[in-house]
A and B are shown apart, each in its own frame.
Chain A
Amino acid sequence: MPQVVIVGGGTGGSIVANQMARQLNKELQDGTVSISVIADSPDHIYQPLFLYLAFDQATPQDMRKPERQILDRHVRLISGEANRIDAEAQRVILTDGTSIPYDYLVIATGSRPAPEQIPGLVEGGHQFYTEDGAIQLRQALRDFSGGRLVVTVGVPHKCPVAPLEFTFMVQEWLKTRGLGDKTEVVYTYPIGRVHSIESVANWAAPVLEERHIETHTFFNMESIDPETHTITSLEGDTLSYDLLVAIPPHVGQDVIGRSGLGDAGQWIPTDRHTLQMIGHDNIFVLGDATNLPISKAGSTAHFEADVVAANLVHRLRGGLGMMSYDGKVFCFIETGLKEATYITFDYDHPPVPSMPTEMIHLYKLAYNRMYWLTPAGLL
């Protein structure tokens, strides 16, 4: 009986499991195929709400559901942490020593923020890329009585529009708190424009200027001095801050490093179209775990999962599984507290943002509630 094992119970892993389960319903009932998901958390977390959590517009309960409820009942959920993937022996070994054999492996382990890579950042800065971090930032924003709020961006990071969204949202939020005149919002970005996407940068730069948000480009944070409240870039510039909100650099998950499957950043070498791990015909990789030069975003994992699930089902039925991923990404962009825009692009078509509207903002808020249909494999 072919055994499909998916490491990771996030967006990508859950979509693959559920889409496969729906198509292989008969085989699963007959016991001729098995699908297992290894997840280290009992809850599935909808991470985009961390941004809203920081502004007290969402609570931790809003962003979680038990993974068991999300997965098709024919999918086996293995609760535990993968310690090592042995690609030669085709096994995943959990931290409790359990060994899970596989015929096909899907690695959907995601990435994690690594603030410890920047000296002083853990002590001196805030971030909203984890639930705890967003809760601490919520408190810091509540206690903020004015001053210089600096937003800085590490490389690589997930959700590439979040730094701009946070900047726009915090400026409006501070105004509504009556702190607009007592606050300077400062936005820094690692490359020579205010966003990696040229069209987004061309749209955002005048908006930042119009809103009197100070910007510093070519600014890659190198160290933070929590004593003097200063941040220094590797390009040699130093800025002072009263409240520092950092988008930390990210790394692939440590299980990838321990298994020797990744590069120096624990990203897995992956074919950009087939999504197979380079050199491994029976291992598929998706979402943040790949080394592909595309956005680390839920939508990326979603579109990749469509391809991986379809190809795996086809192969299990004797086909070749030749569907190709085209690099598709879709992102909403909140431009304040009342309007939003969106972008969509792939390897061959650059993104072009449209004018922000209230309708897109409302749709984003609606999607935040509809999200649960996505890991269910329905939306």
Chain B
Amino acid sequence: MAETVKIVDARGSFCPGPLMELIKGIRQEPVGTILEIWSSDQGSAKDIPEWVQRAKHELVKNFEEDGVYKIQVKKLR
């Protein structure tokens, strides 16, 4: 069965911003959840993977679609 992906629409978010929205999602969802952050900020494509590595979660996908940066992250712990 395909894993469900929870979308976090953080387009246009300057504060708290896409990475904070991801951290919020990671904190409140159970281990194993895959979150897909949508960001209109190109910087997210770099900032989010950097945090994911430090926090020891898994970067599943990192791609751009119609000007929206979409980063999938799996909560590992």
Contact = CB atoms under 8 A, between A and B. Distances in A.
Nearest to A331: B15
Interface in B1-26: 8-21, 23-24
B67 interface: no
Interface string B33-76: 00000000001000100110011000000000000000000000
Contacts, number: 75
A281 B18 CA distance: 28
Nearest to A196: B17
A295 B10 CA distance: 12
Contacts of A355: none
B15 A264 contact: no
A348 B11 CA distance: 9
Contacts of A196: 14-17, 19-20
A190 B51 CA distance: 9
A156 interface: yes
Nearest to B6: A263
Contacts of A272: 9, 12
Interface in A240-296: 249, 263-265, 272, 293-295
Nearest to A198: B43
Contacts of B13: 293-294
Contacts of B23: 155, 190-191, 220
A220 B55 CA distance: 9
Interface residues of B, number: 25
A94 B14 CA distance: 37
A156 B16 contact: yes
A264 B21 CA distance: 13
B52 to A, nearest CB: 11
Best-buried of B17, B47, B50 by chain A (most CB within 10 Å): B17
A191 B17 contact: yes
Given A156-B24, A263-B28, A351 B15 contact: yes
Contacts of A347: 11-12
A351 B28 CA distance: 28
A249 B55 contact: no
A160 B21 CA distance: 13
Interface in A106-126: 117
A197 interface: yes
Interface of B: 8-21, 23-24, 27-29, 43, 47, 50-51, 54-55
Closest 10 CB pairs of A and B: A347-B12, A293-B13, A265-B28, A264-B28, A196-B17, A293-B10, A155-B23, A156-B24, A235-B54, A295-B15
15 contacts: A191-B17, A191-B19, A191-B51, A196-B15, A197-B17, A220-B23, A234-B55, A235-B54, A265-B28, A272-B12, A294-B13, A327-B12, A345-B14, A345-B15, A348-B12
Given A192-B47, A264-B28, 8 more contacts: A156-B24, A160-B16, A191-B51, A192-B50, A293-B9, A293-B16, A294-B13, A347-B12
